A = this chain, B = another copy of it.
Amino acid sequence: MFYFYSQYLTLYTQSHLATGHSTCHDKFKNSGRLGSLSNTDKQARHSFTDIEKKILPEGFSNIDEGKDTWSDAHANFLSSLSKVETHDLLKISRRMNLKSRDHLFRAGDRSNDVYIVAGGCIRLFQVSSTGKETILWFSFPGEIFGMSELWRGSDRQIHAVANEATQVYSVSHKDFTYFLGTHPEAAMKAIGILSARVRALGHALVGLASDNVETRIARLLVRFATISSGTRCCADSTEGELCVNVRLTHQDIANLIGASRQTVTTTLAHLRKQGAVRAVNQHIHIVQPEHLRHLLKKGAA
């Protein structure tokens, strides 16, 4: 299902992940897309300065600039930091490699480090007593997570699992707090990130309370398409088409929007029949963005 290869994944894949033969894309793909990636292996090892160079200048949107509520909710913490801040932060961080489905932490864990995604994708979710999983958030490269549990001094409330092979930087609670205290600008940016998350969760809440499944799916697709915009999908894509460049199973979507898997399958099939979306290489393309936006207009959030 999809690859979330947006700019991020490509970026990171090239500089950090690439093991020379296997990239995240390989997991999903059998043919072309990955061909280009394999070349990257040569320059696999990196230094922090590498990272700075790679991440900062790519022109990611500043947290202030986002016009879309959803996309700025996925504001890139790392890229919003200055060179010095990035350096100081990475200095106190520890890099970790996770295989797909590795748990970073579980509900009930004592750990309360903060994490920043280097490459890949982390799924943040809760599990109910009946086993139902509700995904609260996907964290993509550059994003920070775990922050909102820092000041609780209590157990983790949620689970964090690598959705694919993922690399994260972990920073201890203590160090991170110290970092924020000594870098007021960064603290302000952290506030911005949390603010964005509050808004996004608020939106999700309103949508869940007011909209039907079709609208919620439409919103999700548009949102993820926005997040992964800027990547030209390697597959053939018609003009005006948006690519939802993230690997999502129907079950994932269901857990994300609070619906059952079957309903998601059916609704997606329906949208496909209408010609609003189509499946391309395990991921979704929005053929008629307007069709979905029209749905959203009728919706609430």
Contacts and interface: CB of A to CB of B under 8 A. Distances in A.
Interface of A: 63-67, 69, 72, 126, 128-130, 132, 134, 136, 147-154, 157-158, 177, 180-181, 184, 187-188, 190-192, 194-199, 201-206, 208-210, 258, 297-301
B149 A199 contact: yes
A126 B206 contact: yes
A217 to B, nearest CB: 14
A111 B289 CA distance: 31
Contacts of A188: 177, 180-181, 187
22 contacts: A64-B153, A66-B152, A128-B299, A128-B301, A129-B297, A134-B209, A148-B199, A149-B195, A149-B199, A150-B195, A151-B191, A152-B196, A152-B199, A157-B202, A177-B188, A180-B187, A184-B187, A190-B191, A194-B194, A201-B205, A204-B205, A210-B258
Contacts of A187: 180, 184, 187-188, 191
Query: Ordered nearest first, which 7 A-B pairs have the shortest CB separation?
Result: A128-B300, A209-B258, A201-B201, A194-B194, A148-B195, A148-B198, A151-B192
Most B Cβ at <10 Å: residue of A147, A154, A180: A154
Per DSSP, are chain A's interface residues mostly helix, strand or loop, or mixed? helix
A202 B147 CA distance: 14
Given A64-B151, A195-B150, A134 B184 contact: no
Contacts of A148: 194-196, 198-199
A195 B177 CA distance: 13
Most B Cβ at <10 Å: residue of A151, A208, A258: A151
A181 B196 CA distance: 19
Given A188-B177, A190-B191, A199 B157 contact: yes
B297 A151 contact: no
Contacts of A63: 151
B151 A195 contact: yes
A150 B198 CA distance: 12
Nearest to A259: B209
B129 A299 contact: yes
Given A157-B202, A209-B208, A195 B128 contact: no
Contact of A202 (B128, B136, B192, B298): B136
A299 to B, nearest CB: 7
Given A147-B195, A190-B191, 19 more contacts: A66-B152, A126-B206, A132-B209, A147-B191, A148-B199, A151-B192, A157-B203, A177-B188, A180-B184, A181-B184, A187-B188, A191-B194, A194-B194, A197-B198, A201-B201, A201-B202, A201-B205, A205-B208, A210-B258
